[in-house]
């Protein structure tokens, strides 16, 4: 569609995902009797509604994408896609990796390890390349790891952080002329918060580096994540946080990101409204919300 195009109609996959918990057993039943591309789509749909029934399908699909020993690039043409993560224009394998992360399943660990292995020689130029999609692979691994919150992901994330494009991105004075450097910094914050949510003090140390970053959005996010993971709020006082972490030692608990996937969050909301009924002459059949109801 063009930028100015307007679509009015129902999108079947959206209807399915937003149908409520009753859709899960129906999707699981369909998954068991399908093959090929449809089975992969059903596995993605199940991941989006919080089921791990499609994990073996997702793992196998990602493995097939990686058989060439490299991370596949984007092949689909997506309009107006600039530098990552613009328009979410990612390679298909990265989309599958995000779906796998939604499942909070430890069968993802070997997949993340393999992806991080393949990222080892990634350069800055490859991260910003709109077709290679390395940005998304990094983000997708972290997306899944912070939801699983498993300490076994810590070595994988620490290795990722050690790669040249993904560390040393804090800025404590002046301002950045190159606006994409903020996106590199964001990836480092994402790695830090994922490590922290897996119970790693190294993740907290990464977040602490950004507490006094000149880019407020990064500083505020690092602060919020530290408070959420540590269960206390010491403001942006780096010394206070360091003293607190020194006292904790290595006994930091894992705090997985627990917010459900977006479709599940919508299950109790009235979001599917008949557009035709809202037109002049149509009947407004939208249910009225009762007093005191959410």
Quickly tell me which residue has 């950045």 as its tokens.
Answer: 176
Q: Answer whether 204's CB lies under 8 Å from 245's CB.
A: yes
- Please report, rounded to a whole number, the percentage of residues in the chain having pLDDT higher than 70: 92
Total-model pTM: 0.89
Q: Is residue 162 part of a domain?
A: yes
Give the span between the Cα atoms of 129 and 191, in whole angstroms. Answer: 20
State yes or no: pLDDT of 245 exceeds 80: yes
The answer as to whether 47 is a domain residue is yes
pLDDT at 290 over 50: no
What is the pLDDT confidence band of residue 132, given thresholds at 50, 70 and 90? very high
| CB burial string 195-221: b at 16+ within 10 A, e below | bbbbbbbbbbebbbbbbbbebeebbeb
pLDDT of residue 153: 98
Residue 107, domain member (yes or no): yes
Residue 277 inside a domain? The answer is no
Average pLDDT over residues 223-252: 93
On the question of a cis peptide bond just before residue 85, with omega within 30 degrees of 0, the verdict is yes
CATH for 119: 1.25.10
Q: What is the pLDDT of residue 289?
A: 34
Judged on CB neighbours under 10 Å (0-12, 13-18, 19+), 90 is: buried
Q: Which domain holds residue 226?
A: 12-270
Q: With respect to residue 36, please indicate whether it lies within any of the assigned structural domains.
A: yes
Q: How many CB atoms lie within 10 A of CB 13?
A: 12
Residue whose C-alpha is closest to residue 158's, from 210, 132, 196: 196
- The total of structural domains in the chain comes to 1
Nearest to 145 by CA among 191, 186, 184: 191
pLDDT band per the 50, 70, 90 thresholds, residue 61: very high
pLDDT tens-digit readout, 141-150: 999 999 999 9
Q: What is the DSSP string of 205-273?
A: HHHHHTTT-SSHHHHHHHHHHHHHHHTS--TT-HHHHHHHHHHHTT-PPP----PPPHHHHTTTS----
CA neighbor of 236 nearest in space, from 250, 253, 224: 224
Lowest mean pLDDT among 37-41, 79-83, 115-119, 230-234: 79-83
Residue 282 lies in a domain: no
d(CA 205, CA 192): 8
- The helix or strand, by DSSP H or E, that contains position 113, with its residue range, turns out to be helix 109-118
Average pLDDT of span 192-208: 97
- Condensed to tens digits (0 to 9), the pLDDT of residues 170-180 reads 999 988 788 88
User: Across the chain, what does the average pLDDT equal?
Assistant: 91
pLDDT at 105: 98
- Asked if residue 282 has pLDDT above 50, the reply is no
C-alpha 218 chain-centroid distance: 17
Does any domain span residue 52?
A: yes
Q: Residue 279: which residues within 8 A CB-CB, separation 6 or more? A: none
CA distance 226 to 192: 10
Q: Which pLDDT score, from 0 to 100, does residue 281 have? A: 52
In a domain, 279, yes or no: no
Q: Where are the alpha helices (DSSP H) in 4-88?
A: 12-17, 23-31, 36-48, 55-65
pLDDT at 68: 93
Give residue 294's pLDDT. Answer: 33
């Amino acid at each position: 569609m063009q930028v100015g195009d307007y679509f009015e109609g129902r999108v079947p996959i959206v209807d399915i995902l937003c149908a409520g918990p009753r859709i899960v057993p129906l999707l699981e039943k369909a998954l068991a009797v399908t093959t090929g591309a449809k089975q992969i789509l059903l596995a993605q749909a199940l991941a989006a509604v919080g089921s791990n029934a499609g994990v073996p399908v997702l793992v196998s699909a990602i493995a097939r994408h990686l058989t060439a020993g490299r991370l596949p690039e984007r092949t689909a043409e997506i309009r107006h896609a600039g530098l990552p993560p613009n328009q979410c224009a990612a390679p298909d394998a990265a989309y599958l990796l995000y779906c796998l992360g939604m499942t909070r399943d430890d069968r993802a660990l070997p997949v993340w390890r393999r992806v991080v292995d393949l990222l080892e020689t990634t350069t800055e130029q490859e991260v910003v390349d709109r077709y290679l999609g390395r940005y998304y692979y990094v983000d997708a691994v972290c997306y899944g790891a912070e939801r699983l919150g498993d300490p076994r992901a810590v070595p994988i994330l620490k290795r990722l952080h050690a790669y040249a494009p993904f560390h040393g991105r804090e800025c404590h004075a002046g301002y950045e002329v190159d606006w994409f450097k903020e996106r590199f910094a964001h990836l480092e914050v994402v790695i830090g918060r994922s490590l922290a949510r897996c119970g790693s003090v190294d993740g907290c140390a990464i977040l602490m580096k950004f507490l006094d970053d000149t880019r407020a959005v990064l500083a505020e996010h690092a602060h919020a994540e530290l408070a959420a993971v540590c269960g206390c709020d010491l403001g942006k006082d780096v010394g206070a946080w360091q003293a607190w972490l020194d006292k904790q030692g290595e006994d930091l608990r894992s705090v997985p990101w627990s917010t459900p996937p977006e479709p599940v969050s919508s299950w109790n909301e009235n979001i599917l409204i008949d557009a035709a009924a809202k037109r002049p002459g149509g009947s407004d059949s939208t249910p009225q919300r009762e007093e005191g109801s959410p």
